[in-house]
Structure 1
Amino acid sequence: MIALLLAAAAAFTPLKGDFDHDGRPDTARIVHAGDRYVLRVIRGADPRKPATVWDLGRSKPPYPFVAAARAGRFQTACSKGLGRDATPCPRSWVTVKAGDLTFGNAETTEAVALWNGRRFDVEWLSD
């Protein structure tokens, strides 16, 4: 129980890294914005324009996590048949660089935020 409480508290702690791989430090953090919780990234290259990467909803999420990803090639959730059947699956696999931003709810969902040069594209790996 104590470990779960510590994990939940750590989720709201800022995570520093270079999520857009431009050599400048970035910060990711779950924040309360208006009536919602969101994952925001403040890029070192443009600190005045925070990017909202994930909208967690109105209630405080139970066990969210935010971390630096390990490198590898991963199958996306939609290619595993997860998600909506009516939604096309644009990517079956994604290549993740070490240090990309990963997030989700512990032991249930995981996504990665991949910088495309203009914004973060989110790809769900599990649903």
Structure 2
Amino acid sequence: MTTGPSVHVHASGMSLTVRIGGEMVWQTAPFFRERLAVEITAARRRVVLDLSAVSFCDSAGLNELLWAWRLADQAGSVLVLACVPAKVQRMLARTGVGTFLRVYDTVGEAENALVARGGA
């Protein structure tokens, strides 16, 4: 049984953690795009996408991650990924996306790295 798409947000100062859940596929892409657009453009400098609850991600889901990364960049924010499931990590590696979209093992590591680098 699969669960529907979900987005849970935790804001703290200049940081925002967005926990994405469910399948990231073409059917759920509009839901994620709408929710992420609102959160990413909310004037936070650091955005961590926590993918720990993502059950499946196809090319449409990957496209949404890239779109979110570009939107954050245009908004003057830095977006990174955390808690990326192994299958999604393999997709990032195979497509080369992992070379420029930073990935951390935990949300805490991602937040610490962003603070240490001044958000960049």
State the TM-score, normalized to the length of structure 2. Answer: 0.26
Higher percent of residues as helix: 2
Structure with greater contact order relative to length (CA < 8 Å, sep ≥ 6)? 2
Higher percent of residues as strand: 1
